[in-house]
Amino acid sequence: MSDNPILNIVDLSVIDTLNQHPLINHLSMAIYPHRSLAIVGESGSGKSLLAKAIVGLLPSSLSAQGDIFFHDKRLSDLSAKQWQQMRGRKISLVVQNAMSAFDPLMTIGHQFDETLNTHFSLSVVQRQQRIMASLDKVKLLQVHNLLNSYPHQLSGGQLQRVMIAIALALEPDIIIADEPTTALDAITQFEVMQAFTALIDENKATLIFITHDLGLVKGIADDIAVMKNGEIIEFNNKAALLSAPKHPYTQFLLATRQKLTERFDKIRGNHVIKC
């Protein structure tokens, strides 16, 4: 592990300006290069707000206090133009609802090419080569038809993989994936998680994976942070947290997951016997 964090969050609070209620409350956390961090918590715990705060996309009704440093650079000091250059290229966000990330009036190929043209000085041929290589790595088929399609013509799984392919092509230092598999079926979830694993392995990127499902991140996380009511209540490496959780809420999440797994195994076993 590097001695210096790639992302250092110091005493971060996110305040609802209408009622001055803190939605994230004095959160501090250091994230180190080339590691995969899972942030786990129930809906409303502040996970997605944390992701938006990191990439500077909080809505105008919310204000951030405290500091976020990327490679020791204070993100709050960035101008709008600097944020545009940073977002996507250095810190990439993959959102839960992939449809909302694309312009419905432009083809996938046009949007992919425009993104690369914004961040790189590449020829048309070089951009096309990078697009095709990235789509191949996330196992998308019939890519020529896909690139000529509009977002509404693709499935949720295809759109998620396109978003991962764009992140791959941009080669960011940090990828933040905010519940990217929630709306997908189990098979597509597995394939998308495989794509993320390949992405961080090949690019030596740092991954922040946000989810409500502890079981989902067992195969991808190096470290796990458990979030509740806008605070990190437990942070540890995966092996230690899963084998000996200290906080009662973490223990509850693991016990609930175990019960669901046992119930599923029982149902599956009964089904096999009946067949």
Domains of the chain: 33-58+79-244 (3.40.50.300)
Contacts of 23 (CB under 8 A, 6+ apart): 14, 15, 16, 46, 49, 62, 230
pLDDT of residue 267: 64
pLDDT of residue 275: 44
pLDDT bin (cut points 50, 70, 90) of residue 96 is confident
pLDDT bin (cut points 50, 70, 90) of residue 273 is very low
262 vs 192, higher pLDDT: 192
pLDDT at 264 over 70: no
pLDDT of residue 128: 95
Angstrom distance (rounded) from CA 256 to CA 176: 26
259 vs 17, higher pLDDT: 17
Percent residues over pLDDT 70 in the chain? 93
pLDDT 10s digits, 128-181: 999 999 898 888 889 999 999 999 999 888 898 898 889 889 989 999 999 887
pLDDT 10s digits, 39-76: 999 888 999 999 999 999 999 999 999 999 999 899 99
Angstrom distance (rounded) from CA 192 to CA 169: 16
Tell me what the pLDDT averaged over the chain comes to. Answer: 87
